[in-house]
Amino acid sequence: MSWESSIEYERMINEGVRARLGGTHSADLVIRSYDFAAIEALQAADRWDDAGALLAADARRLQDAGAEIIVLCTNTMHVCAPVIEAAIDVPFLHLADATARAVLATGVRTVALLGTRYTMERDFYRGRLEQHGLHVLVPDEPDRTTVHDVIYNELVRGVVRVESRHAYVDVIRRLIDAGAEGVIAGCTEIELLVGADDVTVPWFPTTRLHAEAAVDAALAP
């Protein structure tokens, strides 16, 4: 939900529409962008019900403004997906579903999940992936804290450090040693730090996968 990754979502969706339709075409978007500090405060205070009420109300406003598909451009806040889906009448494109389909298409069945502590530790995301038949590994401590802290202390603030990239690569290496056949970048900001060239197994960047799924859904006959 930080603007650092939000602008990447918008760029990828627009590029996808232009590639499909050509000419001067771009995506017809209705966007609700948040002050991330307010969202982070709700997360830190464990006020997920309040966050869900906020997102659900805004999803309804997006629908009322003409949106025909709702895309929540953040992995962590998919903890609120059920209440959002209950508030709208148009399709909600769940990020974990789009990611799981991409993973399964490669033949990978055991996958590592990197993300915020909420995403790695809670069942709302891991469980959704497992419903698709995937076996999900997450880092042990202290690696889990390293992954989480880099997101909140650096990436959402636009800070990209080589040292943090090396730390992530080390975490990924340990997950591969534990049996991971692929790695999910389960936080949209992680793609600002690590890419496919940094890992030795299939890399699943959720921002791009979700953006591509959104374009596919919007332009479907």
Q: Could you give the residue numbers annotated as active site?
A: 74, 187
Tokens 């469980």 -> residue = 127
What's the chain's length in residues? 221
- What gap in Å lies between CA 147 and CA 190, rounded to an integer? 9
Q: Fill in the DSSP letter of residue 184.
A: E
Task: Yes or no: say if 214 and 97 are a contact pair by the CB < 8 Å rule.
Answer: no
Give φ, ψ of 112 to 5 degrees.
-85, 145
Which residues have a Cβ under 8 Å from the Cβ of 59 and sit 6 or more positions away?
70, 72, 84, 87, 88, 92
Measured over the CA atoms of residue 115, residue 121, residue 124 and residue 126, the dihedral's sign is positive
Give the residue from 187, 192, 5 showing the smallest Cα distance to 112: 187
